[in-house]
Structure 1
């Protein structure tokens, strides 16, 4: 199926992904899971959660293999790989650049996928690891949420869930994951991660950049907020190396405003994913200015 694992597509925290082919000739992605201290919990999470889903913005699980300690997951093949290589410009030199309309449609697609996980399934699914690396793009750049190794299933009517451990990736997990004084862990924790990712899509960079030329630019959410607060054109500043027209500037501003709402420190101040979809698709003039993000910019020594 994998031709002796010759073509490596990528690598993540839970395993390595290889290109494969079914007997029908259809291409697939085969993820070989690493041995872990969590006793196969990632494998069980992936199969249990993703097998319950059916949505255009959720990657499809074709099958799985379990042989002793060896575990593999077989997914639909995603021709354009993960979102991170497009927004951080870390792919090969001939990689296509995403237009602002591409980024906007990708943002909406991811939001719809998360809304489905939170409200559209019989069992609510919290992902807990939303980040550009876990968003895959098909040949038409339709985004699909992947990597459910940290996901948690919970009853639809349960708003706050009990967590014994911190889940997610630094830079994307919500404050309540670290300190319960901010509030309980809930679907709003995914909203926070989505907001951090959305701001990275706008800036074309990591939200924390210790190599920034000015201290004020180290933490991108604060940098973007200051530009909005004094009514500076976001498009002229967040990507100074890029010339944007008025339509592209409006997309950048809309995504910035929504992203800043999503990363509010208190879960109760963040919108639901249903509201996020409305904010992305609705009238720009109806969007209110979000409060300033609470957390201060990390110092160079901390980053």
Structure 2
């Protein structure tokens, strides 16, 4: 049994798979802000999905930057006390033996590029707008394998000297204008409660600024929009503009766990 964990800033998903392409079972819960409690909940979830048996491999997606050479977290905005500390402060050592730890948005990009709306494209730019703003570029090779570049697109400056996002600290960054939290701060309404086209048009303007800048670096064939804000995609999609086509994520909430299994398959077949 294989396990994929997608620990987002707001929600965590744990999925099991026997073939690394279809989901057998999925467990969803709100991410606990206490790292000790979150670690315990994740461990219990894995044990539940594997019926207490040892998983063959576990792919962990975490909301931050990791250093796999040292086995530690570089930055975890939601768990600042874990910065610079080993993976084991948040992930059970029992499941780290056969595992891979990656940024959660990167796993979402991989899942969507290989199994979702990016299936027919070689260079897939995935952006997730949720608690924060993240994403990655996935480049598929002719052999069926892929590479990915995760360069924190949420830190891209789109408004010089603009507002600051708590999770980014870069004035005028993409995240400060496009994450779910930023939407509420900018427009004084929760995204799911907003039907004002004027508001959504303004929100799309900020996304367009980011798409234009990011495309200059990524040179992707398509942009895919994921994360919780993608649930409101129909309200702002008509205002989106980019040098390439734009699509909504097909795997939506499960992009990260799908990506974990896709990456696991590539890791195990390359050994």
Classify the TM-score, shorter chain: under 0.3
Higher relative CO (Cα under 8 Å, sequence separation at least 6) belongs to 2
| Higher Rg | 1
Q: So what's the TM-score if we normalise by structure 2? A: 0.28
What TM-score, normalized to structure 1? 0.26
- Name the structure with the higher strand share: 2
